[in-house]
Amino acid sequence: MPPVPSGRRYFHFALTLIMLWLLQMVALAGWYVYEQVQEVSRVKAAHEQREETYFEAQKKVADHQAFMNRYGPDVRYREAVQQLEEGRLLWSNGLQVVNQKLPAGTELFRAEVDARRMDGWAVFPSGDEAAAFLESLQSDSRVKSVFLDCLGDCGGDDALLDPDAEGEEVLHFHFTLKPSDDGSTPPPSRDSRPPSEEMMQAKGDTDAME
């Protein structure tokens, strides 16, 4: 018998390889299309979520603006009252702490309050007594921290030094009170707290019904 030509001998093998290659290409194309569809779905879902968040934020801003347009003056008045009340309490508590720690015969000739910080100026018979006062002030449970700002010529024209006394020193110091949750400063009265939007809206609905 004559020998089988090489082309016919490997025809089926080559055809099988070609079919496998085509199947692989189809599978890769299908996987690529699937990944693209998934990516589009993820991007679309993220866009919809951002859009929903944006509209919710817009609604909250619009509701807040409407609330402030209606109740803004009342809210600002109550906030101002609350700030004044807090300032009065801090001033009173700060003076109480200092007066309890000052040595006999020594008084503040100047005091300032800013937020929870209180600055004080006083004339002490000596620098040692001024240092002892600061240590005593720092040990108070209502005081968070104490700082020495100046000792000596730091009172300006307000300092009334005794011309006959020797060794007198003007002390400028400041300290901060602990937050109210530590029990040092009473919270403002309930009536001075600014109302919430829900409370004001409920009040407005009640007035409308009347």
pLDDT digits (tens, 9 = 90+) for 17-43: 888 888 989 999 999 999 999 999 999
In this prediction, residue 162 carries a pLDDT of 54
In this prediction, residue 114 carries a pLDDT of 78
Here the tokens at position 182 are: 């530590």
Domain segments of the chain: what residues?
Answer: 12-85, 88-177
Here the tokens at position 36 are: 């693209």
In this prediction, residue 15 carries a pLDDT of 81
In this prediction, residue 161 carries a pLDDT of 57
CATH no. of 88-177: 3.30.1360
In this prediction, residue 146 carries a pLDDT of 92
In this prediction, residue 131 carries a pLDDT of 92
Residues of the chain with pLDDT under 50: 163-164, 182-197, 199-200, 202-203, 206-209
Query: Rounded to whole angstroms, how far apart are CA atoms 205 and 129?
Result: 63
In this prediction, residue 1 carries a pLDDT of 53
In this prediction, residue 147 carries a pLDDT of 92
**In terms of DSSP bridges, do strands 108-114 and 117-124 run parallel, antiparallel, or are they unpaired?**
antiparallel
**Hey, what's the torsion of the CAs at 160, 161, 164, 169, to 10 degrees?**
160
Question: Is the pTM higher than 0.85?
Answer: no
